[in-house]
Structure 1
Amino acid sequence: MNVLVIMAHPRSPSLCSALADAYAEGARAAGMEVETLNLGELEFDPDVHPISPRQQTLEPDLERARRLIEWADHLSFVYPAWWGVGPARLKGFLDRIMLPGFAFREKADGSYEGLLPGKTAHLITTMDMPPWVYRFIFRAPGHNAMKRSTLGFCGIDTPRILALGPVKDSHLEQRQDWLEQARALGFSLQHGAESRGARARAKLVAWIKALRLQFYPMTWMAYTVGALGAQAVTGRWDLALYLLGYAYLFFGEAATVFTNEWFDYESDRRNTRYGPFNGGSRVLVSGELSFSEIKAGIVVSLAAAAACAGVILDRLTGNDTAVALALLAILILGLGYTAPPLKLAWRGLGELNVGFTHSLGVILIGYLLQGGSWHDPFPWLVSLPLFLAVLPAIILSGVPDLEADRAAGKRTLVVRLGHGRAVLLALGLALAVPLLVMLIKDLPALHCALQGLLPWILPHAMLIAYLLSREWRHQTQGRKDGLMLATLSYIIWFGLIPLLQLS
């Protein structure tokens, strides 16, 4: 790792210069390549005189500083938190060196992108107040400014901050201890810029992001509707099988989303319009997880799903062939969404696949595990409106991804139909659902599962129709978070109301 230590106290020698030297010693002892910058010794004008700082020629010392920042994998800033922030010398240095085109750029949509990603930073600050006062009472203004507004804005991650104080009341032994802390922080770079705890937390957050848990509640509701529907017929409720069945679906869905990350990487990498409901979790694109880690996640999830299936089939005394086929079919279809040889999402069949697996697929498994038969009408009838309700959301999730999918060779339904016709198809499907519910809600085979659904879905369908008609007229580029939220929340009624009715 290339490490640049920036001593930002204008005076040397000082406690800050000693801390910078100690940090550099620790980093060298850890095997790092270390360079230092003493801002107090640099010759440069700290003020920006023209309208844009790019119009002001960099002095030779700043040219060297810029080359060192480009060279460095890791930066360490050591400075006193004067007036809660830091020395004017540090502010002037940042004003002059963190230039547009070097540290950040403005994108076509008006947002900004940091141009120094992959770099990390440590802050070592001294102060004349207890660090806890600075953090909890004054809300750490200097730390926030450096970590978020400056370094974070430019793409540099600041995982660790060492705040030391109060200096004015410190004694020699305390200052020696601070020097040892700075040396230890530099030496810790042998394990990376983050602490072990921070690395573990970051990895946990990355796995949670990769799981995309926002999509799991609907699976649980549909599965439970199937189980309760079977109970209404058989009068049976096996809690252990119910829990094992959902565990199987959970691990199967986890394997599916991990597989999607792997095989959709090329499309996700090109996608600049990703959001919480489209474009994947981004953990591979951002480097939060590696391909080998995602592969391990797929293997572990499939192994857990297989273990659950084995226990389920071992506990069953009948109906085991139908259950085994249903469990196998939903897993193959889930993985086949993006994985070869099926690659259904790449062939324009992914939308139908998601609609089927997240309606009849999970409902039928819940129904079979509680003793129902696959040829009973309940699971087929109750899943029909849910199937149609899922399709608009999954179709529209491809609208922001259109250009990236097309460039990657992914032939989704939106790529095949185009933006306008895909929106019209979603509109027609959303409006068809209430009509279907009116036709089938009173059938005895449904056990009143769809009773009381229309008062909730009719106004929601009207809202979706308004939003989709506006989208069809304008066909604007960019993310569709509001539209996605409207269509995804529409799906919930088709699980929640039957769930309450059957309960």
Structure 2
Amino acid sequence: MKVLVILGHPRSPSLCSALANAYENGALAAGMEIEKIDLGAIDFDLDVHPVSPRDQPLEPDLERALQLITWADHVAFIYPAWWGVGPARLKGFFDRILLPGFAFRERDDGRFEGLLTGKTAHLITTLDMPPWVYRFIYRAPGHNAMKRSALGFCGITTTRILALGPVKDSEPVQRAQWLEQSRGLGFSLKNGALSYIDRITTKLKAWLKALRLQFYPMTWMAYTVGALGAAAASGNWNPWVYWLGYACLFFLEAATVFTNDWFDYESDRCNRNFGPFTGGSRVLVDKNLSFSELRVGIVMSLMAAAACTGLLVDYLAGNSAVPIVILIMTVLGLGYTAPPLKLAWRGLGELNVAVTHSFGVILCGYIFQGGGWNSPFPWLISLPLLLAVMPAIILSGIPDFEADKQAGKRTLVVRLGLGWTTLLVLVLAAAAPLVVILIKDQPALRGSFQGLLPWVLPHVCLLGFLLYRAWRQQRLCGRIDGLMVASLTYIIWFGLVPLLHLK
């Protein structure tokens, strides 16, 4: 690990300089590569004189500092928390060195993105008060400023903070203990910048991020509608089969989102408009997970789905439709981005997602509970849902437009352009309640769509208004989180209302 030690105390010798030396010695003993910047010994102007710090030439010492920050995997800051925050020299250093285009950038949608992701930091601060007073009474203003407002804003993750105090009237024995703590913190880098618990927690968070759990309720709702429809027709309900079947779909969906991250890596890497609903999970781009780890996740998810399929087939012996429909769902799910199909790269990905999340999962729920694949219920109830899903899936390609185009990914948005895409979304969103009007009185549906229109019609009007306003204001070229929320919640009505009727 390449470690940069930054001493923020303006004077040497000092307790902070001794702590920095102790940390450096511990890191060297752990086998780290070490570089050091003593802010009290370098020459630079603390103040930013132009409107932007980019317009102020960097002094040679700051040029070297910028190169060292780029070089480092891990940065340790050692400084006194004067007036609760730190020395003016440390603040001036940040003002001059954390430049736009180097440490962060402003995106087209007005939001900011840290550019120093993947780096970690340790903070060692000296105090003239007990650490618990600083933390709980003064609420650790300096720690928050460093961890969140400065380093965190630029993408650097602070993994440990060592607060030492009170320094005033401290005994030599106490200072010797502090020096040993600092040395131990530097030596702990031998096992990485994170503690064992932190590594487990960080990796768990990365896997949860990769799963993209925000999309799973849609699958569960549609699957449950299918299962309840079959139970209403036959009068039988098998909870074991229900949960086993959903586990199978869950693991298939997990394998699908993992493969999406894998095969969409080039597009995601170029994407500057990513958000919670678009641009993938970014666990590979942000180096939260490696390709080998994600490959293990794909294999394990498929193995778990295969095990659930085997149990289902054994339990539902004689129902040949079960393995067939699961096989189709597997091919369509993985084929969204995985070769040879790569449906999302050919302009068929949107239709693929809409089919699997409407007809596919509803048919699974229906068949697993003993219903016949040729029954009209799953097909009729799926049609409005398909039309409701399509707008959200198509809209999710708008923030990815430039990145997909650059990567050669021919999504519907890339093929049609923003204008025709907007029109298609409006038509599909309006078609969903129209189809409900046409089929809601079909006996096979058992009144599942009764009471849906009073909720759906205002929502589709809202969706149309938001889409038209975004198009008129030329805001369909970056993040569209509000529009995505409106389109995704629109889908819920087509699952929730039937669910309440069938429960």
Aligned ranges for residues 41-60 of structure 1 at < 5 Å? 41-49=41-49, 52-53=52-53, 58-60=58-60
Q: Distance in 2 between matches of 1:394 and 1:43?
A: 54
Shift of 1:475: 4.4
Aligned ranges for residues 399-418 of structure 1 at < 5 Å? 399-418=398-417
Question: Does the 8 Å contact 1:232/1:447 carry over to 2?
Answer: no
Partner of 2:260: 260
Q: Distance in 2 between matches of 1:421 and 1:97?
A: 45
C-alpha distance after superposition, 1:135-160 (max 9, x if no partner):
22212111122222222333333222
Partner of 1:461: 460
Partner of 2:269: 269
Question: Does the 8 Å contact 1:227/1:367 carry over to 2?
Answer: yes
Partner of 2:219: 219
Instruction: Work out whether 1:307 is the aligned partner of 2:302.
Output: no
Between 1:491-500 and 1:196-205, the stretch displaced more is 196-205
Q: Distance in 2 between matches of 1:355 and 1:81?
A: 55
Secondary structure of 2:40 counterpart:
helix
C-alpha distance after superposition, 1:438-481 (max 9, x if no partner):
11111111122111111111111111222233344444311111
Shift of 1:260: 0.6
Partner of 1:502: 502
Residues 341 and 63 (structure 1), Cα distance of their counterparts in 2 relative to 1, 3 Å cut: closer
Letter in 1 for 2:410: R
Instruction: Work out whether 1:244 is the aligned partner of 2:244.
Output: yes
Partner of 1:202: 202
Partner of 2:388: 389
Shift of 1:252: 0.4
Letter in 1 for 2:345: W
Shift of 1:109: 5.2
Partner of 1:490: 490
Shift of 1:495: 0.8
Partner of 1:177: 177
Letter in 1 for 2:354: G
Residues 181 and 367 (structure 1), Cα distance of their counterparts in 2 relative to 1, 3 Å cut: same
C-alpha distance after superposition, 1:200-244 (max 9, x if no partner):
222111111111101100111111111111111111111110000
Partner of 1:363: 362
Shift of 1:311: 0.8
* Structure 1 unmatched ranges of 5 or more: none
Shift of 1:245: 0.3
Q: Distance in 1 between matches of 2:448 and 2:109?
A: 46
Secondary structure of 1:418 counterpart:
helix
Shift of 1:371: 1.1
Q: Distance in 1 between matches of 2:468 and 2:207?
A: 37
Secondary structure of 1:35 counterpart:
strand
Question: Does the 8 Å contact 1:420/1:475 carry over to 2?
Answer: no
Question: Does the 8 Å contact 1:419/1:475 carry over to 2?
Answer: no
Q: Distance in 1 between matches of 2:445 and 2:126?
A: 70
Aligned ranges for residues 53-202 of structure 1 at < 5 Å? 53=53, 58-100=58-100, 102-106=102-106, 110-168=110-168, 170-202=170-202
Q: Distance in 2 between matches of 1:224 and 1:460?
A: 23
Percent identical among aligned pairs is 72
Shift of 1:35: 2.6
Letter in 1 for 2:420: R
Partner of 2:2: 2
Letter in 2 for 1:424: L
Partner of 1:231: 231
C-alpha distance after superposition, 1:60-103 (max 9, x if no partner):
54444444334433221111111101122322333344444554
Q: Say how many residue pairs are matched.
A: 502
* Structure 2 unmatched ranges of 5 or more: none
Aligned ranges for residues 280-295 of structure 1 at < 5 Å? 280-295=280-295
TM-score norm. by structure 2 comes to 0.94
Between 1:213-222 and 1:112-121, the stretch displaced more is 112-121
Shift of 1:50: 5.2
Instruction: Work out whether 1:426 is the aligned partner of 2:425.
Output: yes
Between 1:380-389 and 1:466-475, the stretch displaced more is 466-475
Between 1:124-133 and 1:6-15, the stretch displaced more is 6-15
Residues 280 and 68 (structure 1), Cα distance of their counterparts in 2 relative to 1, 3 Å cut: closer
Q: Distance in 2 between matches of 1:105 and 1:317?
A: 58
Question: Does the 8 Å contact 1:423/1:471 carry over to 2?
Answer: no
Partner of 2:343: 344
Question: Does the 8 Å contact 1:259/1:298 carry over to 2?
Answer: yes
Residues 70 and 399 (structure 1), Cα distance of their counterparts in 2 relative to 1, 3 Å cut: closer
Between 1:107-116 and 1:68-77, the stretch displaced more is 107-116
